[in-house]
Amino acid sequence: ILFFLIQITSTSVVGTKTQEIDNTRLERSELRQENSFIEAEIAKSKSFASSNNVIKDYSLEIKNVNYLESLDDNDVALKVN
């Protein structure tokens, strides 16, 4: 009878520890995903700061771009393909 009590106790402890291990693995996975997101945000911020430094270093100006409309070449006598 003592053997069965020890076996039941050890099995319940192992079962509890298995659940704790699964929870820890899940938490670790979530933390890694969050860490990757934060690293991407940091890289984006560094890139933005770097581009701002280039703008300041070379005295560049931010301007709007005006695009030309595409040429309608249906009325052109000679088309080069």
Checking if the pLDDT of 79 tops 60, the result is no
Across the range 63-71, mean pLDDT stands at 75
pTM of this structure: 0.49
Are 79 and 73 a contacting pair, CB within 8 Å? Answer: yes
Residue-wise pLDDT tens digits, 28-65? 999 999 999 999 998 988 888 888 888 888 888 878 87
Q: What is the pLDDT of residue 55?
A: 83
Percent residues over pLDDT 70 in the chain: 85
pLDDT greater at residue 77 or residue 42: 42
pLDDT greater at residue 11 or residue 24: 24
